[in-house]
Amino acid sequence: MRYRTFRDFKIQSRKHVVCSKYSRLSRRAPGLDSPFRDHRRSHPDANAWRAHPDPVGISAGVLVFFYAVYSLIKYQREANRIISLFEANTQIKELSEKAARGEPLPSIVVIRGHIGADGGDVNTVSGAIHGLRERIGEIEQPKNAWIEIARQAKSDPQLRGVADAVVQRTGVDADDVSEVPAPGDPYTRPIRNHAEGSLVVTEMLVARICAKHQSVRREKTTKRVTIKRPRRNESYNCFHARRVSDRLHIIDMDGARADIELPPAHAVGLAGISDPPPLFLPVSDVWTEFTHYLRKDGLTGPGGRRQRLDDLPPMRLSDPYTLLSEFIFLDVQSTVDLGGLPGNPHVLEEIGEAFATGPTPAKFLWEPRGFYDSVRGGGYDDVPAYATGRFRKTEMISARELLDRAQAAAKENTRYTPHCEPTFSRAELEQRRDEENCFRYTELAIPRGIPVTILARPMIAEAGTGEGADCNIRLVSPQCDEGPPYADVKNLKDRFRFRILRGHQVENLLRHRELNPTAYYGLALVAVAFIAWAASGYPGLGA
């Protein structure tokens, strides 16, 4: 099974479940029987309609379906684990005493307390940049396609057949997954944080949001060709940086202290999509996780034969993240392709200068796939042949160079992309750049002394000396490889990430995970619909 199959599955299946008239699965056949059989029988030329099942497509759909079910089960187990950790009410002194006795520390704990730092206050970046400063308090997150599909399954009768098939095979009903916000809701909370007062952590994330998966549709009867150009549907993180006060720590409910070591602030990577930045509490990117799963575990073919897939190309772009942290006080998109905001076209450069190391501005990730159209008939990882040679490499560059390249790439793409005529003129493509592409600016701030709940891995920061001496505890990322192995190894296999959440209620810790199962439920819906579509020979495709 080739990688391009999964890429095509993602594009076609989401489009046909949500948009196509062929997503109306038969209520009489909620299983894998073809939902299009009655339509074929009534077709005026039944012989001309002979479509054949696609075994590759069916296999891909079954694989995605079982992965979605596996993820739903795993998230439920992780939620139960979080509740048990919360109810354990672990205290820092308890961990210190356990370490002093030479006993292994747990692989993950939930600690409640108040956050502080020994150093002085830190400042936000947005507050000093014209264009961002005026928009503090605004949240305008892109929609999550998988969550939208799950939401539709709750209300759209046309998806009832798909939902019934998921229930039949998993026992998971739409009512079993969390309520999904209505359209227009930013999937986040009311803003309580405006980055005012004494701050101990601020963190800035810049993402490039681009238009990908342009398509060509040819009508069989009229031979008419229509070019479809999506808008702002793919993304990659091009910059991530943090300001943090010295000796960040938490004082727990009993007054004991543990230092906090935040995960590295580099959510950008040359080798492909890295883990999303944990403090922003991102909803899982289900498709990226799925491809990572394939790359790591491979496939089991007929007869139990294992097929390695570790040579799959890295994922370069993903769906735009849904970010749920209550510490986010700004999440906005630029009004133009090159990242400018009204009154300030230099936002990217000013962010780079704000995080400069000495006289050298901070670097941004140049990913060419975020600035050119998809390759017609090519693979997910392809860069168009018309792209300038020095622009084809993924690398870290200054904000000024990134903007120069982006401007040149925009001209090349407008001049040479095949996804243009006859639907659009070249002049129209140039005008559409600001609608199709942008940069997204997201910043969070954690005030000093507020109540927080931290999910982390405890480690010994400093061993005590003398009889009865305590060991100082440091809280690090659960994914950290530092230190000796732990007895509780199975918990390290779960998808726990370092978390800091406002407040002391377990609901706050669980709430940001609520949309993760919903996204995987949406993936399961798509998989079932795609299996039926592939079994019917893809009716409607190219009609």
Q: Is 28 exposed, middle or buried (0-12, 13-18, 19+ CB in 10 A)?
A: exposed
Q: What is the β-pairing status of strands 306-307 and 328-333?
A: unpaired
Decide if 43 is inside a domain. Answer: no
Decide if 461 is inside a domain. Answer: yes
Q: Please, which residues bridge with residue 110 across strands?
A: 455
Closest to 263 (Cα-Cα) out of 278, 251, 275: 278
Q: What is the pLDDT along the chain (543 residues), one digit of tens a residue?
A: 333 444 555 555 444 443 333 333 332 233 333 333 333 334 444 444 456 788 878 888 888 888 888 888 888 888 888 888 888 889 999 999 999 888 999 999 999 999 999 999 999 999 999 999 999 999 888 888 888 888 888 777 777 778 887 777 767 777 777 665 555 565 545 555 667 789 999 999 999 999 999 999 888 888 899 999 999 999 999 999 999 999 999 999 999 999 999 999 976 878 788 778 999 988 888 888 888 888 877 776 556 667 777 777 888 999 999 888 889 999 999 999 999 999 999 999 999 999 998 888 899 999 999 999 999 877 767 899 999 999 999 999 999 999 999 999 999 999 999 999 999 999 999 999 999 999 999 999 999 999 999 999 999 987 554 444 568 999 999 976 444 444 344 444 456 889 998 888 776 667 666 677 888 888 888 888 888 888 888 776 654
pLDDT for 541 equals 61
Decide if 108 is inside a domain. Answer: yes
Decide if 47 is inside a domain. Answer: no
pLDDT for 504 equals 85
Decide if 311 is inside a domain. Answer: no
What span, in angstroms and rounded, lies between the C-alpha atoms of 394 and 396? 7
Q: CA-CA-CA-CA torsion for 65, 66, 68, 69, nearest 10 degrees?
A: 120
What span, in angstroms and rounded, lies between the C-alpha atoms of 131 and 128? 9
Q: Please, which residues bridge with residue 406 across strands?
A: none
For residue 82, give both structure tokens: 């979080």
Decide if 367 is inside a domain. Answer: yes
Query: Which residue segment(s) compose the domain that 445 sits in?
Result: 89-124+199-283+318-512
This prediction's pTM: 0.85
Number of H helices, E strands in the chain: 13, 16
Question: Dihedral sign, CA of 165, 169, 173, 179?
Answer: negative
Contact predicate 285/318, CB 8 Å? yes
Closest to 512 (Cα-Cα) out of 67, 195, 86, 178: 178
Question: How many structural domains comprise the chain?
Answer: 1
Decide if 172 is inside a domain. Answer: no
Decide if 188 is inside a domain. Answer: no
Q: How many Cα neighbours within 13 Å face the side chain of 366? A: 22
